[in-house]
């Protein structure tokens, strides 16, 4: 659908597609499914973050036994939060591309 879209549009479309592939029939993820998705699809961003208090807080909230499920909006907020604390983000900022 976004073959002619910008790189940013394609990135968000990809995030939506990955989310939808993991989501249930109500378009939501359980906390354990969310954690599994992050560990399999977002590994390079969360790698090495295990000792950061904010990371531990986020991940422990996904371990809580709860009926609460995560919708796409909450999932995107979670991705942005994990990205902002990631060491990989600094490496990405140091890379300049020419267009």
- In terms of residue numbers, what domain contains 83? 2-98
- Give the domain CATH number at 83: 1.10.238.10
**Who contacts 34 (Cβ-Cβ below 8 Å, separation ≥6)?**
62, 70, 75, 78
What's the token pair of residue 39? 């560990």
Q: What is the pTM of this model?
A: 0.79
Residue 65's pLDDT band (boundaries 50, 70, 90)? Answer: low
**Domain count across the chain:** 1
Give per-residue pLDDT as tens, 11-24.
Answer: 999 999 999 999 99
Give tens-digit pLDDT for 27-51.
999 888 898 999 999 998 888 888 8
> Tokens 């995030």 map to which residue?
15
Whole-angstrom Cα distance, residue 43 to residue 60? 17
Please name the residues in contact with 38: beta carbons below 8 A apart, sequence gap of 6 or more: 46, 62, 78, 82
């Amino acid at each position: 659908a976004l073959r002619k879209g910008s790189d940013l549009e394609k990135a968000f479309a990809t995030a939506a597609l990955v989310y939808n592939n993991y989501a249930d029939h109500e378009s939501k993820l359980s906390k354990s499914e969310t954690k599994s998705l992050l560990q399999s699809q977002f590994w390079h961003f969360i790698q090495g973050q295990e000792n950061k208090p904010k990371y531990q807080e986020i991940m422990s909230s996904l371990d809580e036994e709860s009926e609460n499920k995560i919708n796409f909006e909450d999932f995107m907020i979670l991705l942005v939060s994990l990205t902002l604390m990631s060491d990989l983000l600094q490496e990405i900022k140091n890379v300049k591309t020419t267009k």
